[in-house]
Structure 1
Amino acid sequence: MISFNNDYSEGAHSNIIQALTTTNLEQTDGYGEDIYTLKAYEKIKKSLDCEDCHIRFLVGGTQTNLVVISHILKPYQAVISSDIGHINVHETGAIEGSGHKVLTAKGIDGKLTPELIQNILDIHTDAHMVQPKMVYISNPNEIGALYTKKELEEIYSFCKKKNLYFYIDGARLSSALASIKNDINLSDYKNLCDALYIGGTKSGALFGEAVVFFNKTLIDGFQFSIKLRGALLAKGRLLGIQFNELFTDNLYIKCGEHANKMALKLKEVFVKNNIKLITDSYTNQLFLIFSNKMIEEIEKKYKFSFIEKYDDKHSVVRFVTSWATKEENVDLFIKDFEENYKFIR
């Protein structure tokens, strides 16, 4: 069965596998003190155009959000998120489990704005309630929508004015950076947020995310927070080697470009056949409304995600492409859709 279910079904880019194999029997220091991790830090800093930012590698997205948010916030403080934000919907209460409430607003295409953030601040005014202290977004967001540079500038300016921290989840940052609608360079992010994580798990790595602190007042004790949460990997070089490869010869962006290209090929056939998209995505996620009958037929041969019921006869589904999606599989799906599925309503 051909899968369009997620962007982490495959292993890792061949460059990474080769590098892990080549270095397999080398003896290196542990816990991220190895030469490959230090090289990767320098490469990422160069791409960010930020020599004094603080970088640490973690294993996965939920772990990263938990460690970063719980490290930054005091026990009585909360984080603001879109109602579809990953920390609110798909992390099994990890943030709440650390003692921090997630305050939500219904976003526009799932995106937050200063006005939506202000609405939350307006109803949290005294010590009888949690104190909002951080704003969390994903770019691209959970339904494939992109933030523009102007939108991030407005949110960050608002956050600084209101004494809030601004943290960006970049689980699919390679897709955002490579999007034909993107107007933000990686080097811009140092002026757009306090902290960012650069996702590797969904961008060609076996696993791994790179946490970047631009706001140096947040760095103190972060290594202790990593260890406290069980997130300090003894074989840290496994993360360093992977990011060293991802940031060699623009591989990170190339992974995003391929994923986006495959998604846009699928999007073209859906739009051509009047399949409704939940949002006009130009990244590697497509959220669509299929008839339930169409879903029953397509899932006999292809794997994709059911998201939610839309009405009695239709449902929202998600198609995702990755750095490893084979173009011949996309072409096969398109052929099947044109010949068999588009007539099912």
Structure 2
Amino acid sequence: MISFKNDYSEGALPYIMEALLKTNLEQTVGYGEDEYTELGIEAIKRSIGCEDCYVRLLVGGTQTNLLTISHILRPYEAVIASDTGHISIHEAGAIEATGHKVLELPNDGEGKINVDMIRECYELYKDDFHMVKPRMVYISNPTELGTLYTKDELVSISNYCKEVGMYLYLDGARLASALASEKNDIELTDYPKYCDAFYIGGTKCGLLFGEALVITNKELERGFFCSTKQRGATLAKGRLLGIQFAELFKGDRYYQVGKHSNEMATLLKKGVLEAGYKLKTDSYTNQQFFIFPNEKIEKLGEKYRYEFWEKVDEDNSAIRFVTSWATREEDVKELIKDLKTL
């Protein structure tokens, strides 16, 4: 089977594995107090152009969302998100299990929410003490549909959040793909300027595991380590995270991860369109959504792994293909060839 199901099927980038093996027998202190974690954090701060921020290296995306949102919000406060947002549908109710309601907004058809939607939601809830209070806006870049927020959209959401006293939190699980997209106009150094907190994805961007949470709002830092400890998120062998991020953020390696995965996705997209099939969304990142007849989807499943997305009508469905740092061009071309001969 050739997998296009996700971007974490393989282990890790070769230079990550080499660095881990090279340091394997070193003895360091635990829980992120080691020199490698310090190196990783320093590399991230340089890359985002923000020395005066708090960086915590964590293991996974759902864990990072859970920790960040539950740490920041009071028990009666809620987070606003798209109805396709990761915290809305992919985390088994993790956020609401902490007692914080997710206020879901119907997305704009591209997986995004905008200021008008956010404002309407905020105004509805803000003055009724019987209801939860919106205190945070959650977005991701790319979105769950592979689309991108523009810089103007990010700035406008950020400005509104500041105006009404809400926090803006951005999920960057696939941030490498966003940064390398031909449609992107947001620099990595922009995120600290407009987000109270965001995370830089590693698990889906070439690491064995790891996400780098960045908190730029100073009032939100206090006690965060205690929150991670309380929820079992302090990795004893913390250096394993530090080593990986220190390597990933040498030169333009992070960008190159996104560049390769996007190039493979673009090649696949072009081939699918040439074969006469339609797009579910017009994505310029490493997630591609195609509409195929159901009988052809079943045949594809005999050789390829993909993610079923949704039923379009009685005869057709949308499925997702994801490319990664490890996707081989020959596998993409083989898939395209098979699509044309099904």
Give the deviation of 1:231 after TM superposition. Answer: 0.3
Provide, for residues 246-287 of structure 1, a one-character-per-residue CA deviation record: whole Å limited to 9, x for no partner. 101211111111110000000001222332212110000011
- Aligned residue for 1:189, secondary structure, equals helix
The separation in 1 between residues aligned to 2:252 and 2:262, in whole angstroms, is 16
Deviation at 1:122, TM superposition (A): 2.3
Q: In the aligned structure 1, how far is the partner of 2:280 from the partner of 2:322?
A: 14
Correspondence 1:76 to 2:63: no
SS at match of 1:32: coil
**Count of aligned residue pairs for this structure pair:** 340
1:30 is aligned to: 30
Residue deviations 1:131-152 (CA, integer Å, cap 9, x gap)? 0000000100000000011100
Distance 1:120 1:188 in 2: 26
Match of 2:299 among 294, 297, 300: 297
Instruction: Give the aligned partner of residue 325 of structure 2.
Output: 323
Shift of 1:334: 1.5
| CA apart distance, 1:332 | 1.2
Q: How does 1:40-59 map to 2 (within 5 A)?
A: 40-59=40-59
Which residue in 2 is equivalent to 1:16?
A: 16
Alignment of 1:121 with 2:122, yes or no, is: yes
In 1, Cα distance between the equivalents of 2:12 and 2:271?
28
2:125 matches 1:131: no
Q: Which one-letter code corresponds to 1:115 in the other structure?
A: D
Residues 1-345 of structure 1: pairs in structure 2 closer than 5 A: 1-108=1-108, 109-124=110-125, 125-338=127-340, 340-341=341-342
Asked whether the 8 Å contact 2:30–2:239 carries over to 1, the reply is: yes
Deviations 1:285-326 (CA, angstroms, capped at 9, x unpaired): 011111101101111111111112111101110000011111
Moved over 3 A (4+): none
| Alpha carbons 2:272, 2:336 under 8 Å: kept | no
Helix, strand or coil: the match of 2:320? strand
Per-residue Cα deviation, 1:1-26 (whole angstroms, up to 9, x for no partner): 10100000000000000000000000
SS at match of 1:123: helix
Distance 2:135 2:163 in 1: 12
- Rounded to whole Å, the distance in 2 between the matches of 1:126 and 1:205 is 45
d(CA) in 1 for partners of 2:279, 2:170? 25
> Gapped runs of 5+ residues in structure 2?
none
Question: Partners in 1 of 2:40 and 2:220 — Cα distance?
Answer: 21
Cα distance, 1:173 vs. partner?
A: 0.2
Distance (Å, rounded) in 2 between the aligned partners of 1:208 and 1:265:
28
Identity over aligned pairs, percent: 59
d(CA) in 1 for partners of 2:65, 2:3: 27
**Amino acid in structure 1 at the alignment position of 2:75:** P
CA distance in 2, matches of 1:118, 1:177: 28
| SS class of match (1:81) | strand
Letter in 1 for 2:306: F
- Secondary structure (helix, strand or coil) at the match of 2:203 reads coil
After TM superposition, give the deviation of residue 41 of structure 1 in Å. 0.7
Write out per-residue CA displacement over residues 143-166 of structure 1, whole angstroms, 9 at most, x where no aligned residue: 000001110000000100011000
SS in 1 for 2:258: helix
Q: Separation in 1 of the partners of 2:300 and 2:144?
A: 24
Q: Which moved more, 1:230-239 or 1:114-123?
A: 114-123
SS at match of 2:63: helix
SS in 1 for 2:139: strand
Deviation by residue 1:52-90 (Cα, 9 ceiling, x = unmatched): 111001100000000000000000000000000000000
Residue identity opposite 2:328 in structure 1: K
Aligned-pair RMSD on alpha carbons?
A: 0.8
Distance in 2, matches of 1:63 and 1:79, equals 16
The one-letter amino acid paired with 1:234 is A
How far apart are the structure 2 equivalents of 1:214 and 1:223?
15
The one-letter code of the counterpart of 2:63 is Q
8 A Cα contact 2:275 2:339, kept in partner? no
Cα distance in structure 1, aligned partners of 2:113 and 2:72: 20
Which amino acid counterpart does residue 48 of structure 2 have in structure 1? L
